[in-house]
């Protein structure tokens, strides 16, 4: 636990966030409506028909599938042609990008004092000595 408190990998945080978004999408369930279930399209195409090339499938595929900035879902040849960067390499690039471009807005007046009072109250409650 001590090591965890003093060691931190920004790329791992970015990877964890990406996985969290994918899991949240998966456990969010499937919206069951006539439009989402493509009832009209099923009737139009009929039994034994082919749905993959239908416009409805294309229009809804990206909306329904989790979208990852860091996981490359292209075929291996395409992935290699595009540099072949794995999840970790992409996460380090994203973490460095965030750290180099993020702008921190100043706190609204009074917020810092409120945070300080919460910390001081917790220190007093748990008997933490101030340095």
Give the model's confidence band at 93: pLDDT under 50 very low, under 70 low, under 90 confident, else very high.
very high
What is the structure's pLDDT at 85?
A: 95
Q: Is residue 124 domain-resident?
A: no
- 17-76 per-position pLDDT tens digit: 999 998 998 898 877 888 778 888 888 888 888 888 888 888 877 666 677 889 988 999
Query: How far, CA to CA in Å, does 37 sit from each of 19, 28, 40?
Result: 27, 16, 9
Structure token pair of residue 74 = 């292209």
Q: Is residue 67 domain-resident?
A: yes
Q: Is residue 127 domain-resident?
A: no
Q: Is residue 69 domain-resident?
A: yes
Structural domain count, the chain: 1
Count CA atoms closer than 13 A to 49's CA, side-chain side: 10
Average pLDDT of 82-107? 95
The boundaries of the domain holding residue 91 are 10-15+32-105
Q: Is residue 115 domain-resident?
A: no
114 vs 117: CA distance, rounded Å = 5
What is the structure's pLDDT at 76?
A: 95
Which residue matches tokens 């978004």? 21
Q: Of 20, 13, 5, which is closest to residue 88 (Cα–Cα)? A: 13
Q: Is residue 118 domain-resident?
A: no
What is the structure's pLDDT at 70?
A: 92
Q: Is residue 116 domain-resident?
A: no
| Mean confidence (pLDDT) of the chain | 88
pTM of the model: 0.61
Q: Is residue 111 domain-resident?
A: no
């Amino acid at each position: 636990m001590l090591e965890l408190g003093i060691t931190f990998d920004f790329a791992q945080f970015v990877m964890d966030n990406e996985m969290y978004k994918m899991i949240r999408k998966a456990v969010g369930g499937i919206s069951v409506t006539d439009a989402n279930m493509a009832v009209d399209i099923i009737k139009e195409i009929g039994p034994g028909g082919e749905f993959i090339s239908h416009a409805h499938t294309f229009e809804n595929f990206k909306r329904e599938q989790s979208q990852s900035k860091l996981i490359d879902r292209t075929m291996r040849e395409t992935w290699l042609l595009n540099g072949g960067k794995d999840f970790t390499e992409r996460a380090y690039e994203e973490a460095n990008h965030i750290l180099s471009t993020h702008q921190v807005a100043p706190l609204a007046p009074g917020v810092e004092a409120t945070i300080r009072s919460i910390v001081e109250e917790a220190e007093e409650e748990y008997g933490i000595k101030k340095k």
